Amino acid sequence: MSGKLSSKTAIITGSSRGIGRAVALAFAREGAALIGVHYGSNADAAHATVREIEALGAKAVAIKADLNRGKEATDSIWEQFKAAAIAATGEPRLDILVNNAGIAPGIPLSETSEATFDEVLRVNFKAPFFLIQGRCRSSPRQWTNYQRFDWLYACGRANASRVRRIEGCR
């Protein structure tokens, strides 16, 4: 452990499994003070990840929120994390936000319904936007890079690989 993230706090969406889990464990190995392990439905996986993080010496909290619920979900994430951050560090501070959660329905473009399309937009674009917005509102001086339309570029760029993976009409 190099301690690169010593005393830093982080939320990682979709971190109960897969890439998000790997990022959360890497942050713990680097000395993060608190890691918010976000999950949508698999509480067992989230709590297992929290235990692994704590075994590495970092503090962690499981944060449940269905990103398909948009701003309601992101507000819930912030409230849960703020309470945990105050308990762990004495202040409601967030240093690192990793918008990792996302969905990519495994269906051909020609069979994609409007409801499926809307769900992809809510989870992959709307939720990350409102998480970034919530962070900017809580500490505007620290997060000055997200001005004007930079948020659209940030959300779009982060999710472009998901869009590229969707196969065309079959």
CATH number (domain holding residue 75): 3.40.50.720
Examine residue 1 and state whether it is found in any structural domain, yes or no: no
Q: What is the pLDDT along the chain (170 residues), one digit of tens a residue?
A: 678 999 999 999 999 999 999 999 999 999 999 999 999 999 999 999 999 999 999 999 999 999 999 999 999 999 999 999 999 999 998 999 999 999 999 999 999 999 999 999 999 999 999 998 887 776 655 545 545 445 455 555 555 444 443 333 33
Radius of gyration for the alpha carbons in the chain, expressed in angstroms and rounded? 16
Domain-embedded: residue 3: no
Domain span holding position 155: 9-165
Which pTM value belongs to this model? 0.82
Of 81, 91, 68, nearest in space to 38 by CA: 81
